[in-house]
Amino acid sequence: MQSVHQKVPMTFSLMLPLVLSGWLSLGRHGRLICDEQQKVLWHNDQLAEFLSATRAFRIDRDLITITGKKEQMAFQDFIRSGNADIVLWLKDENDRPLWALQIQRIMTPGVPTCFGIRFAQTDDFLAADFRHFETFFNLTKQEALICRRKLEGKTVQDIVEIEGKSFDTVRFHIRNIYRKVGVSSREELFANLRLFLFN
């Protein structure tokens, strides 16, 4: 992989939205921009540190590959989906998340869609502006919704009334949330999720 930042000439119409969105910032995290074929268009120098620290991601002939089949399929599904962003977790042999890949679709008129990828160690990433707590803890949509209500200070009865669910259903989801997050009380839930930014 070349150490230069720019891999191919980028037009001003592409450069401007990337600069404004912060994707061309050097920062302390590895950053990369690729096209829909996963061809590297640009990367910063910090990417080399990430590549030397993990075998879960590689660049070969300017094409990026996530070595985990599940994560690679999720990345390709995201490219085809039209969704705005996704986070993929690269895990160690004990299934603990070590690296976070924040991937954002970058669209600008008259320029083919490309994707910005930011690489960060899990602890560092969780301390940043981040809203994908659902994927980190593998929560269902209902669990994520109820988790947000709990963190807003809502009681079980409040959630029953707001969401139109039965008391037993809400309690069932709360037990699952606590199990997945590894806590046994709302206070512990707050402590474990305090680093996440909720929108």
Q: What is the pLDDT of residues 75-122, one digit of tens each?
A: 999 999 988 888 787 877 777 777 878 888 887 666 678 888 888 776
| Terminal C-alpha separation, the chain | 37
Per-residue tokens: 51: 């590549």
Give the CATH number for residue 87: 3.30.450.20
Q: What is the pTM of this model?
A: 0.58
pLDDT tier for residue 8 given thresholds of 50, 70 and 90:
very low
pLDDT tier for residue 135 given thresholds of 50, 70 and 90:
confident
Q: What is the pLDDT of residues 173-199, one digit of tens each?
A: 999 999 988 888 877 787 677 555 433
Which residues constitute the domain of residue 178?
133-193
Which of 99, 126, 153 finishes a domain? 126
pLDDT of the residue at 63: 92
Indicate if 52 and 150 belong to the same structural domain: no
**Number of domains comprising the chain:** 2
The DSSP result for 26-87, as a single string, is --SSEEEEEETT-BEEEE-TTHHHHHHH-SSEEEETTEEEESSHHHHHHHHHHHHH--SEEE
Q: What is the pLDDT of residues 38-60, one digit of tens each?
A: 999 888 888 888 888 888 888 98
Indicate if 115 and 34 belong to the same structural domain: yes
Indicate if 122 and 138 belong to the same structural domain: no
Going by C-beta distance under 8 Å and a sequence separation of 6 or more, which residues neighbour residue 115? 33, 34, 35, 36, 79, 103, 104, 105, 106
